[in-house]
Every structure is written in C-alpha cells, then in structure tokens.
Amino acid sequence: MRTNGFCELTLETPDPQRLARFYADVFALPLLSDERDRVWLGCGEQARLGLWSPGAKEFGDRGGRHVHFAFSVAHGELLAVCDRLRRLGVEHRGPVEHDGGDHSLYFEDPEGNLVEAWEFFEHGEGAENGIAALA
C-alpha cells in the first residue's frame, strides 16, 4: 500500500483559538473552520491541522499530545519563519544544517509541542530524491 502522506494532524489544547493564532502568525496557515471545541487550519495543498479542546469527539476521536512534527517549508521561507518567531518572542534553535545540505528550525508552540520547520523536500538531497533520501 502506498499513501499520499498525512491529510490531518490534531493537537490537544485548552484554548484552540489561541493556538490557531500562533500557527497562523508563524506559518500563515489559513483558517478553515472555527467551531466551539476545535479549529481547523489549512496546511499545504492536501492537509489540515486540527486544534482541539480536551475531551472525546465524534467517532471516539480526541486530540493528542505530540512530541514532534515538522512543516515542510521552501528554502527561502525558512529565514522568514525565523524572523516571525523572533518578532513573536518565540525562542528557537537554528537554522540547523543537516548532512544532506538542508536546514531546519526547532521551537515549541504555546502548548509545549516541539515543532520543526524543515526545508528537506524543497532544498538539498530531499528535493532531488524525495522520501528515498530518508531511507
């Protein structure tokens, strides 16, 4: 079986609207919907980021505490993300150069999730070889 990648990721937060503002400020993610107990933001062409208040949702779903996840960003956009993090007063590490020539920024969101902005698929070995470069 082959997938087309992630289509959604959900994070749990006591204040979905506050966390949505953070991600909109850092990555300019568009608002898809703002409901009482959750917010959905667009994330690329085929994915969305869900920010859910604690508690069970339909189909037995609930948000989750994630240790780490990464946003794919273009080579030139990485420094713009770095600038936005500085303006927002968000401590970050990087850009860090990896062995393949690509770079990442690392920071925590307001809920303590470790977030990476990674240019892997946009610059260096990942841009040339895609996911095979990670094998």
83: left (phi over 0), alpha (psi -120 to 50) or beta: alpha
Quick one: CA dihedral 123, 99, 90, 111, positive or negative?
positive
Residue listed under structure tokens 């690329």: 44
pLDDT, tens digit (0-9, with 9 covering 90-100), for 9-56? 889 899 999 999 999 999 999 999 998 889 999 988 888 898 988 877
CB-count exposure of residue 133 (10 Å: 0-12, 13-18, 19+):
middle
**What is the C-alpha to C-alpha distance for residues 125 and 78, in angstroms, rounded to an integer?**
17
Residue type for position 28: A
More confident: 72 or 84: 84
- Count of C-beta atoms within a 10 Å radius of residue 126: 21
Range name among 43-57, 95-109, 118-132 with the lowest pLDDT average: 118-132
* pTM summary value: 0.77
Residue type for position 2: R
**What is the C-alpha to C-alpha distance for residues 20 and 50, in angstroms, rounded to an integer?**
9
pLDDT tier, 89 (very low <50, low <70, confident <90, very high otherwise): very high
**What is the C-alpha to C-alpha distance for residues 28 and 30, in angstroms, rounded to an integer?**
6
